[in-house]
Amino acid sequence: MSKLRAPASKLFNLLFATTFAKKTSCYGVQRLGSTAAPQPQVCIVGGGPAGFYTAQHLLKSHKGVQVDIFEKLPVPFGLVRFGVAPDHPEVKNVINTFTQTARQDRCGFYGNVTVGSDVTVEELKQAYHAVILSYGAEGSRSLGIPGEELSGVHSAKDFVGWYNGVPGNKDLKPDLSTETAVILGQGNVALDVARILLSPLELLKKTDITASSLEAIGGSRVRRVLIVGRRGPLQVACTIKELREMINLPGTKPALDPRDFQGLREAVQDVPRPRKRLTELLMKAALENAAGKDAEREWSLRFLRSPAHILPSPDRSRAAGIRLAVTRLEGSGERARAVLTGEVEEVECGLIVSSIGYQSLPIDPAVPFDLRQAIIPNRMGRVQQAPGVTPVSFAGWEKIDAVETARGMAVGKPREKLVDLRDMLKVASL
C-alpha cells in the first residue's frame, strides 16, 4: 500500500479511503497469521449489462474479490433501463439478477461518477488491482450526408433515449406532426422505433415509457413508416421476434412489395435456419399484403436504398424529405455488398431517424483510442498499449522476421525488410 500515491480529486479521495480501509483490514488479517494474499480489488467502469455480468462472474469465480462499479448516471443497468423498448418488459427481468449482485457485501456501486473527469483512469489504476472498461458505445454513427444537421433528423440512440427516459435526451421534442417517418437501418432498434411510433396508445400506457413521450405520441400524426436498408431481404438485420411483433401490431399493416421477394423461395433453401424462417415470414407478409388488409397505419421495408441527401423545407429550417440512392447487390448472402446504380428517388417526410449503429467514444487521455475504428485497441480484451506506446514482444518480432524472410525468398534475397512502422506493428499484432 505504501507504493500508492494519493489521488488528486476530492471525490476520489473519499472512494480511495474506502478502498484503503478494505485493503488494510485484509493486511490486518495477515498480521494475525493468515497466509492468504491481499483481497483483490477490481474496478468496473460502466454500470450496464456488461458491467454487471462481469461483476457477477468475478464474484462467483473469485471468493475473495471486491468489485466496485462506477456509473456516470445516478441509476444503474444501462441499456436494460434505457435501451430496451418499453413494450418488452420481459427483457428487463434481468435487473432482478443484477440487483442481487449489487447487494452482495463484496460489490459496491458508485453512481453519478464520471470516469475521465470526476476521477481519472490513472487514479483508478493506483487504487485497484485491475480496471475493467465496460462503458459501452455512447456515440452515434454519422450518416455523412448533406442535411443531416437539420431539425427533424435524429439518431436512433437519442430517439430511444427520449422515450426511455435518458436524462440527456429528455428535451429532444421530435416533431410528430408529419404523416410519413423514415427510419434508416433495418435492425432491431429500427423496428423498435417504428413500433413505438405506430403502437396504439392503449398499449403504450401499460409500459414504463416516459409520461412526456406518451403525451407526444398521443398527439402524433405519423401514419406511415418506411424502414430503409442498403441491401436486400436476405440481409435484413432484425430478428424474427421483432419482425413478428411488427406484423401483428394492432391497427397497423405491413406494406411489403411482393416483387422484392421474387426468386427468394428457392434461394432460402440453402441459408441457415434463422435466416430462412425470417425470409419466409417476410414473403408470407408480402403476399398477405397483396391480398389487402385495412388499417389506419402502415409500415414497409424499403430495400436496396441508401441515404444520399436530407432535403430541406423551403425556409431550410427543417427536414422535408430524403433522397435515396438506388443500389444493387454484388455477391450473395451475408457478404453481399451494396453498390450504387446512379438512380435516385425522393420521399417526402418530416421525421428521419438514423439507426445505423452506435459508436464508442474516448473515455480518458490515459486510455488509447483508435479514432478511425472507434475502439480501444486490445488483445483478447486486454488494453494493448499505454498512452503513445505500442510494446512489441519477442514473439511479435518473430512474426515480423517471418514475413520479411518470406518476402525476401520471393525475390531471391535473404530478407525484404518492412520499413513502415505501421506495417511492422500490424504484422506483430497478428
Same domain, 103 and 162: no
Same domain, 183 and 119: no
Q: Which three cell numbers stand for residue 343?
A: 438512380
Residue 352 DSSP code: E
CA atoms within 13 A on the CB side of 208: 16
What is the domain extent for residue 423? 378-428
Same domain, 193 and 321: yes
Domain termination site, one of 110, 133, 156 = 133
pLDDT of residue 333: 82
Same domain, 345 and 390: no
Same domain, 209 and 331: yes
> What CATH number has the domain bearing residue 187?
3.50.50.60
Query: Rg (Cα) of the chain, in Å, rounded?
Result: 26
Q: Which three cell numbers stand for residue 12?
A: 476520489
Mean pLDDT in runs of 10 for the chain (430 residues)?
A: 33 38 28 49 96 96 94 93 94 94 94 93 93 91 95 97 94 95 97 97 94 96 98 95 95 92 88 94 85 82 97 95 97 90 97 95 89 86 69 85 91 85 84
Same domain, 274 and 407: no
The answer as to whether 367 is a domain residue is no
Domain termination site, one of 86, 106, 133 = 133
Same domain, 348 and 384: no
The answer as to whether 4 is a domain residue is no
The answer as to whether 245 is a domain residue is yes
Same domain, 169 and 205: yes
Using CA atoms, how far residue 266 sits from 153, 236, 308, in Å, is 39, 18, 33
Same domain, 345 and 281: yes
Cβ distance 295 to 224 under 8 Å?
A: no
Backbone conformation region of residue 87, classed left if phi is above 0, alpha if psi is from -120 to 50, else beta: alpha
The answer as to whether 235 is a domain residue is yes
User: How far apart are alpha carbons 31 and 29 in whole angstroms?
Assistant: 5
Question: What pairs with residue 345 in β-bridges?
Answer: 324
Residue 385 burial by Cβ neighbours in a 10 Å radius (0-12, 13-18, 19+): middle
Using CA atoms, how far residue 173 sits from 85, 161, 220, 416, in Å, is 18, 12, 12, 61
pLDDT of residue 1: 29
Same domain, 165 and 238: yes
> Looking at the 3D structure of the chain, how many domains does it have?
3
365-374: long-range contacts, CB 8 A cutoff, minimum separation 24: 366/120, 366/121, 366/122, 366/125, 367/121, 367/133, 374/137, 374/139
Same domain, 26 and 90: yes
Axis-axis angle for helices 188-198, 240-247 (nearest 10): 20
User: How far apart are alpha carbons 166 and 359 in whole angstroms?
Assistant: 17
Query: What would the 3-class secondary structure string for 25-69 be?
Result: HHHHHHHCCCCCCCCCEEEEECCCHHHHHHHHHHHHHCCCCEEEE
Same domain, 78 and 173: no
